[in-house]
Structure 1
Amino acid sequence: MEMTPPPRDPGLQPERTLLAWRRTALGLLVNGILLLASGHGTSDVRLGLGIVVMVLALACWAAVSAVYRRSVNHSALGSERVLRLAAGLVLTVGLFDLYAVVTR
């Protein structure tokens, strides 16, 4: 007689993960705004980086939110490809911020 395991109950884990990614995206958006503010009138590079960082932050927010909405019963926070893309966006923004700090 073999016992089958009970069905997996994800609880609130997917929602907590979504909220963590949204906080990350919000932090990235603030970084973009700070880059814009620091580059005002002095450097076109900082203005450009600020805009790029803001666009990447909004893309991260949208991608993770879309994956969460598409997941069936929110049992998992979806596509590994999209989550890797979001993580790559975070890394890219970090590199842009590092450049801005070093060239200040």
Structure 2
Amino acid sequence: MSTPSGLQPERTLLAWRRTALGLVANGVLLLASGLGGSDDRGASDVRLGLGIVVTALALFCWAAVSAVYRRAMRFPGGLGSDRVLKVAAGLVLLVGLFDLYAVVTR
């Protein structure tokens, strides 16, 4: 059975990009919390490092989404796979844990 053509690939791309943008925002907020004046310098350094890691992962996610979209346009048949969805869900969960750490150590 073939996949329906139309706007599905574009909507999926936009959804993935919104997710990546949310991850970038979290990374920037973690960076900002690490740069802010904190009594505990060690926790501040950890938040700064987490901010750098999250921002880098989010930018990688953005680039990967664009690559998957371009490939799907050349070879129709779907934009995602179970492995991609598991990686994305894991990344969002990881960022949530980093954010929780930043809030608890604040």
TM range (shorter): 0.7 to 0.9
Flag the 1:100–1:12 CA change in 2: closer, same or farther, 3 A: same
Flag the 1:56–1:8 CA change in 2: closer, same or farther, 3 A: closer
**Can you give the 5+ residue segments of structure 1 that lack an aligned partner in the other structure?**
none
The alpha carbon displacement at 1:34 in A equals 0.9
TM-score by length of structure 2 reads 0.80
TM-score by length of structure 1 reads 0.81
Q: Which runs of 4+ in 1 moved over 2 A?
A: 78-84
Can you list the C-alpha shifts for 1:70-93, whole angstroms capped at 9, x where unaligned? 1214x4114432333222212211
Structure with more relative contact order (C-alpha pairs < 8 Å, separation 6 or more): 2
Match of 1:30 in 2: 25
User: Higher Cα Rg: structure 1 or 2?
Assistant: 1
Flag the 1:26–1:79 CA change in 2: closer, same or farther, 3 A: same
Can you list the C-alpha shifts for 1:51-82, whole angstroms capped at 9, x where unaligned? 01101111111112111111214x41144323
Match of 1:13 in 2: 8
Amino acid of the structure 2 residue aligned with 1:58: L
Contact map agreement 2:13 2:65 (CA 8 A) in 1 = yes
